[in-house]
Structure 1
Amino acid sequence: MFDTVCTIPLSSELFTQAIHPEEPIVSVGLASGHVYTYRLPAGASEDDDPDETLASENGFGHLDTAWKTRRHKGSCRTLCFGVDGAQLYSAGTDGIVKAADVATGNVTAKIAIPLDPATGSLDHSSLIHALSPQSLLLATDSSALHVYDLRDLGPKASPKPQQTYHPHDDYISSLTPLPASSASTSGFSKQWVSTGGTTLAVTDLRRGVMARSEDQEEELLCSTVVTGLPAKGTSVGEKVLVGGATGVITLWERGVWDDQDERIVVDRTPGGGESLDAITLVPDGVGPGGKVAAVGLGNGALRFVRIGQNRVIAELRHDEFQNESVVGLGFDVTGRMISGGGKMIKVWHEKLQGEQEDEGDDTAASAKRDHESDSDEDSEEEAEESSEDEKEQKKRKKRKRSKGKQKGNGILGFSGLD
């Protein structure tokens, strides 16, 4: 279904990745506090010469490190791009959210995350999401969900949240916007589904928490929404897919939030399935067709599930040797899949018909370029170690991860890799 284009080694353990909404750009946040932004080769267009675009479609071309920096003291916990792709938002264990210009990496604004009211200590971020050009959502380990007005950001201002909600009793593990209704004038979502601990909740931008599920008796870790399903009876043709800690995807009918509607067993490992730590939909026109979800597992596997038939149709491996959890998974604007976990990210392209694998002809990157780093307050040479407390925070979502010896794949025909 997909072949590896390249493996990008990372200097520290990956905590989070974000994929640009309009350009072939991916950013990663590491346990060392570093943020790296890579620009992938451009995809082919209908007007391109086939001979000139074949290299790009097969993954050959230039992969550039656009910029790199040690953005946060401690770990970089979460990243997201703004809806127009001009800004990259990051949050770390230093209690600060930073907005940066995507082209240069320069910081343009900062937000001080409110302290945990129960302890008076730093409240570490768990997720950040740009809901619209005006609204930024920030979730924390204390179960707080802060809503910020992006129009209040500036180089010297540190705005307070407009609203703070508590949809769960535990930290928020995933956040998925619900598609805007036909009556929406802006076209941007104003409601979202979140998972935290063993519950699912729906929150409205202005009305707050609107629904909360029954206790599902297993940890819910990731989510995405699928539209365009058959509308039958009370079904509106939209469902939220939620990956759990025991290898099962639960399907939730939009508007019926008290309990799950269907279940898909993705992993049947004896004694309890592997955790499902990342989930995304395969874009239309990519892959086998139909509604297909790509799922990243706690043991480094990638599995593809056809919705409707509700069965696994294919499997790949992000990590074949160390069995590190897949913590990031998505598709860029060219249809390439990007998976992240451990100390590497992988870029995949759709396998072409009749394409032959040539394992003996892999070539290393022919050139490396160093880029000036925006060090913020800290230099690039500072130690790249996360605290024991931070390691424990990360293990919560990867309880089933096993350890082993890692062996990364080579770079296939890319140059300029930093």
Structure 2
Amino acid sequence: MARKKTANTTSALEMESSVPPIVEINYVDPLFTVAAHPIKPIIMAGLGTGHLYCHSYNAESLEETVQNEREKAELKEKNSTKVSISSIKKKWWISMDSLDLESTGDFSTNWKTKRHKGSCRSVIFDILENSTGDFIYSVGTDHIIKRASTETGKVTAKTSVSNHYDGKDAITNMCLSSTHPFLLTGTENGHVLVFDSHELSSKKLKFKLPNIHEDSINKILPMPAISAYHYLTLGSTTLAHIDIRKGVITQSDDQADELLSMCYATDSINANKNDTVLVSHGEGIVTLWKNSNNGLADQISRVKVNKNASIDAIIPTMNEGVEDLKDSVWCGDSEGILHRVNYKKGRVVETRVHSSVMGKLGGMDEVGGLDIDYDYRLISSGMDGLKIWSGQLEKDQQGVLDDDDDLDSSVDDSDDIHSGSDSFFDNTGLEGEEEEEDAIIPNKDENDSEEVGFDASEGSEDEKSTPSTHSTPQIVRKKRTDITVVMKPKKRMIDINKITRSEQPLESGQEQQKKKQKKVKTLVPNNGIAKFDGL
């Protein structure tokens, strides 16, 4: 039986946006990692079985379908607009199982393959200027990094990393430089290994930085505005600034809390600065760091998001066209809730529900990953599946209220923060014995699959593998100019005294009783500091 929702979860649902997803894809096997193509409507999905899926979608058509179905639903039920997105019984957006996807349609599978033995832990797109999105890099618990063509899925290079660390270690995530052929990998034991992405098959290690953190490397972030050799790493309870040639430059104070993910603010990215960093914590908060302030030695402020959950993922909105979005980041927590945090206002301004099904420990599908697609749409993913959210916006009415208004304050109104669940999932150890590794399957007909080659000796087989007939449109990144704004109804202030005031005077006993009833608890500013009278 589902557990009763906590007070924080209920408060978050009260702030739920009316923006719906345009598509929802469910996977039979655990979904471990998702990456969005930087300039095309393509998504890569890595599973716990080692499989890799390449999906493409027609965003404009999906947006139109959702809008039409929503209008039909509102005509059938007059109060449908008052029902939250998460409580809708009949979904009017596309919801499909990954096994049912064809090679054509508004959301389709271009190809799929058994890429790794065990689980696929991380997949990322190439971001070099001359080859943006042309290649993908993936790594699994088999300790092998593979580079493949995005269009066909053919492996073009691979390397084993097991010789560069202890056999009990494993890679947790990867990061690419946008200016140099540097591929950085973080391991469970806190090491950082750097490879040459152009010479991956050479098996040579470019740089090795041991023991950057005491525990697993949770995130690596490049610092191109400073140098192609400078990066930020997150692990255990500290944030480190490293030079891959020399080692640690600075390391933060111990935060006494697990640091799970981080990102730059949107305005810092657009201004080509790496100054403002936002970090998500295991105890349900997001902290603000500034390199120009104290050299990233410690946080300078914090925003309370959900004290009953860990904030496992965080990403900037990347949309500079809207002021409120420019100052916001998206966060995903272990209760399956998405929060848009305006870090300049210091509060949560919007929520969405990734997992509307509640279990014993909260949302059945925790938010494990977030990404932004080529047109600034939010993509959320968990172990069960992924959602692509509509690009329309909802007017935030809380932005016009004072910061001292307790009714529209942050979800958490207490300074008592409890630890949430851990974000990283361990290796499942699943192996597909019946399916040949790296056999590309363009569609549901597995008889057409071909073995993918890795080197010159296997080059003849590389030529045999053919991609899906489904062609992906060449769409470039653009600014949104046609934005739909959903307005919330304005609130009218009512003077209760005028309504209840009687024309005839009350008797003395009744008047004394009325005064006693009007004594209520005084509201205090919701700034995270408890106020105690008489101390």
TM-score by length of structure 1 reads 0.74
1:370 and 2:370 matched: no
What amino acid maps onto 2:325 in structure 1? G
Distance 2:30 2:287 in 1: 29
Distance across 1 between alignment mates of 2:326 and 2:24: 28
Q: What SS does the aligned partner of 1:216 have?
A: coil
- Which of 216, 221, 241 lines up with 1:176 in the alignment? 221
Task: Tell me the secondary structure at the aligned position of residue 167 of structure 1.
Answer: coil
Q: Deviations over 1:257-315 (max 9, x none)?
A: 211111110113xxxx3100000111223695331110000111001101210100111
Deviations 1:181-238 (A, max 9, x none): 4xx7xxxx43221110111101123332111111110100010011537xxxxxx893
Tell whether the 8 Å contact from 1:149 to 1:162 is kept in structure 2 after alignment: no
1:190 aligns with 2:266: no
The Cα shift of 1:162 comes to 3.3
In the alignment, does 2:215 pair up with 1:167?
no
Task: Write the distance in 2 (CA, Å) between the matches of 1:352 and 1:264.
Answer: 23
* Residue 374 of structure 1: how far off its partner (Å): 6.2
* Cα distance in 2 between the residues matched to 1:309 and 1:329: 22
Q: Which runs of 5+ in 2 are unaligned?
A: 1-16, 69-92, 95-104, 396-441, 454-535
- Structure-2 residue corresponding to 1:136: 183
Cα deviation 1:336-380 (Å, max 9, x = unaligned):
2111002111111123679xxxxxxxxxxxxx9526556669xxx
Q: Tell me the residue number matched to 2:313.
A: 278
Determine the structure 1 residue equivalent to 2:45: 28
Unaligned runs of at least 5 residues, structure 1: 45-51, 230-235, 355-367, 378-418
Q: Give the superposition deviation at 1:166.
A: 3.1
Q: Which residue of 1 aligns with 2:88?
A: none
Distance in 2 (alpha carbons) for counterparts of 1:314 and 1:345: 19
Distance 1:369 1:67 in 2: 6
In structure 2, what is the Cα distance between the partners aligned to 1:370 and 1:56? 27
Alignment TM-score, normalising by the size of structure 2: 0.58
- CA distance in 2: counterparts of 1:144 and 1:13, whole angstroms: 27
> What one-letter code is carried by the residue in structure 1 that aligns with 2:220?
L
CA contact (8 A) 2:57 2:108 kept: yes
Matches of 1:195 and 1:374, distance apart in 2: 40
Query: Counterparts of 1:288-327 in structure 2 under 5 Å?
Result: 288-322=324-358, 323=363, 324-327=365-368
For each residue in 1:37-74, what CA deviation from the matched residue of structure 2 results, as whole angstroms up to 9, or x when unmatched? 11121559xxxxxxx99459988861121111111110
Equivalent AA in structure 2 for residue 147 of structure 1: V
**Is the alpha carbon distance of 1:265 and 1:375 closer, same or farther for their aligned partners in structure 2, counting shifts above 3 Å?**
farther
- The alpha-carbon deviation at position 140 of structure 1 amounts to 1.0
Q: Which has the larger radius of gyration?
A: 2
Q: Which amino acid in the other structure matches residue 118 of structure 2?
A: G
Please give the secondary structure, in 1, of the residue aligned with 2:198. helix
Counterpart Cα distance in 1 of 2:223 and 2:341: 21
What residue is the counterpart of 2:479 in the other structure?
none
**8 Å Cα contact 1:243/1:279 also seen in 2:** yes
Q: Which of 239, 249, 252 lines up with 2:276 in the alignment?
A: 239
Residue 223 of structure 2 aligns to which amino acid in structure 1?
L
Match of 1:114 in 2: 162
The answer to which structure has the higher helix fraction is: 2
* Alignment length (residue pairs): 337
Match of 2:89 in 1: none
2:171 equivalent to 1:125: yes
Give the AA of the match of 2:42. Answer: I
Aligned counterpart for 2:196 among listed residues 136, 149, 156: 149
Does structure 1 conserve the Cα–Cα contact (< 8 Å) formed by 2:277 and 2:288? yes
Question: 1:68·1:374 contact (CA, 8 Å) conserved in 2?
Answer: no
Match of residue 117 from structure 2: 73
| Identity across the alignment (%) | 33
Cα shift at 1:178: 2.5
- Retained in 2: the 8 A contact 1:18–1:26? yes
User: Residue 162 of structure 2 aligns to a residue in which SS?
Assistant: coil
The residue number in structure 2 matching 1:259 is: 298
Match of 1:93 in 2: 141
Which of the pair is proportionally richer in strand? 1
The whole-number CA distance in structure 2 between the counterparts of 1:72 and 1:172 is 21
Q: Which residue identity is paired with 1:77?
A: R
Determine if contact 2:33/2:46 at 8 Å carries over to the other structure: yes
